[in-house]
Structure 1
Amino acid sequence: VSGAEKFYAPQPSQPLPGRVIAIGHFGNFELYARCAMFTPGCQFATTYRALRQPALNKLAQSLREKSGCLFFERRTDADALKSAMNRGGIVLGLLADQHAGDKGLRLPFFGHDCSTSAAPAVLALRYRCRLFTAICYRTDLGRWRVEVGNEIPTSENGQTRSPEAIMLEVNRAFEAAIRRDPANWFWVHKRWKPGKWRSNARPEPAAVNTR
């Protein structure tokens, strides 16, 4: 994991801070849940959508949870996720390169508007976490490297940035990763589905209510 030091507090004596990591389907993206193996003392967590076949879902989750990562089902575990984030010290990875439906933010991605999840920005604001991206790159046969990107600020000049402004930076980071290694991005679903969106992207930050 390159850049793992960003998960830790500036001073060893300080408690581990909360972090939100915007991730995507890059490289071996299942390795995100195993980052705890390479970052001692960090408690990683993520959200997922359960598979329709219960037995297969149970098998998949039993394999994933061996890493020590906490998994929260997006539709049923909202309260448990809230409790974990309120306790602090969680490094929360959220997939953010999927079509987000009619409730998503209308933001450009490679020059075309698409529905973008606001979750990384909203949760970083709500729980006052620093926000980063992380990309998994293949380096050799059976070898990968997860690179933690530069921090994406959630405030500017003392003002809270809008989720639109924050997620626009996430999209740009993903664009750069795809340009660097196009074959490394695995997302066969339609990223630019037509539809209705919650609002237009705003180029500059705007104050938002995060409570």
Structure 2
Amino acid sequence: MADLLSDKALRGMIRLALLLPPALRGRMMAALVSRIVAPLTGYRDRAMANLAHVWPEMPERERRRIAREVAQNAGRTMIENYDVPGLLERMKDTPVTGEGVAAIEAARAEGKPILFVTGHYGNFEAPRAALVARGWRIGGLYRPMANPFFNEHYAANMHALSDPVFEQGRRGTMGLLKHIRGGGMGVLLFDVYDSAGVPIDFLGQPAPTLTSAAEIAVKTGALFVPFFGIRKPDGVNFEAVFEAPIPHGDPVEMMREVTRRLEARIEADPGQWFWIHRRWKPKRQRKRAEKRARQQGEA
């Protein structure tokens, strides 16, 4: 019942916001999430804790400023991605820039597969929308939401931007792998905690990171290209930046390079990354390390 009620409240908020002009709805969602949702849900406190974890010398006032910007960006991103026609219209004339543009255009012309990789930075759907608006077909893999009622329209909205979209898991990964192997294009976000991941330092602290994106690229021969949808200071428009492809090699080293690319973006503008995610889970990592140490001692 709680999931159903929270979903109804969220749907109502989204419907109301979508009645407003894009710039106004963005400001409304930025204010609503930063002033009400983030404090009530604990997102603000989580962002503050994550910032303290990686930058312990940062003054609290600065952490609060960044946490506020994070919540504002999250609110804007959510409502932008719920207006798929509006996002496509906005991005169709947005310049597509970066060292990787020539490489992805050549790969598309030759029918070669491309796997784009990014993090929860700015609006991570904006670069994909920029290409889809230009006639590209780019699939993806998504992590289902815990609330099944919310997940229903969340997933439908992702399908509306560009198919095929697969749910995270063995079946979904195999579906994406088949799509890429057939010369298709897809997007993966890599910057979420997964206990099965390899510890890779992220902003100076170890963070379990799945290597599946790099493994898919290597198996399929897909061009492996990081991209970023960087929100401009006006809060409305974006830069769609496609970086130089990462050469194939050891998947762990490939993911280290992806991580470095994301780190550079965060250090340039930390308020655009989703610090509200539990990226590090240091207590859980310590417990897992202690358990492994005990098992090794008993062996």
What TM-score results when the alignment is normalised by the length of structure 1?
0.78
**Is 2:173 the counterpart of 1:85?**
no
Equivalent residue pairs, number: 186
Distance 1:187 1:114 in 2: 13
Aligned partner of residue 8 in structure 1, secondary structure? helix
Q: Offset of 1:185 from its aligned partner?
A: 0.7
**Is 2:142 the counterpart of 1:48?**
yes
Q: Which residue of 2 aligns with 1:132?
A: 225
Q: 2:157 aligns with which of 59, 63, 69?
A: 63
Q: Which residue of 1 aligns with 2:71?
A: none
**Is 2:188 the counterpart of 1:94?**
yes
CA root-mean-square deviation: 2.2
Q: Which residue of 2 aligns with 1:186?
A: 274
Note the alpha carbon deviations across 1:167-201, whole angstroms, 9 max, x for none: 1111111110001111111131232223258xxxx
Q: Which amino acid in 2 is paired with 1:165?
A: E
Which structure features the higher share of helix residues?
2
Kept in 1, the 8 Å contact 2:113–2:182? The answer is no
Which structure features the higher share of strand residues?
1
Kept in 2, the 8 Å contact 1:33–1:64? The answer is no
Q: Which residue of 2 aligns with 1:206?
A: none
Note the alpha carbon deviations across 1:97-148, whole angstroms, 9 max, x for none: 11121x1111111222221121221111111112111111111231112211
Between the two proteins, what is the percent identity of the paired residues?
A: 26
Question: Which ranges in structure 1 are unaligned for 5 or more consecutive residues?
Answer: 155-160, 198-211
What TM-score results when the alignment is normalised by the length of structure 2?
0.57
Q: Which residue of 1 aligns with 2:105?
A: 8
Higher relative contact order (CA 8 A, sep 6+): 1
- The structure-2 alpha-carbon separation of the partners of 1:10 and 1:57, relative to structure 1 and needing over 3 Å to count, comes to closer
Q: 2:252 aligns with which of 141, 144, 164?
A: 164
Distance 1:83 1:114 in 2: 29
Return structure 1 stretches of 4+ with deviation > 4 angstroms. none
Decide which moves more: 62-71 or 139-148. 62-71
- The structure-2 alpha-carbon separation of the partners of 1:107 and 1:86, relative to structure 1 and needing over 3 Å to count, comes to same
Distance 2:108 2:190 in 1: 30
Q: Which amino acid in 1 is paired with 2:254?
A: I
- The structure-2 alpha-carbon separation of the partners of 1:11 and 1:113, relative to structure 1 and needing over 3 Å to count, comes to closer
Q: Offset of 1:26 from its aligned partner?
A: 0.6
Q: Offset of 1:67 from its aligned partner?
A: 2.0
Q: 1:122 aligns with which of 215, 218, 236?
A: 215
Kept in 2, the 8 Å contact 1:96–1:116? The answer is yes
Kept in 1, the 8 Å contact 2:199–2:208? The answer is yes
**Is 2:247 the counterpart of 1:150?**
no
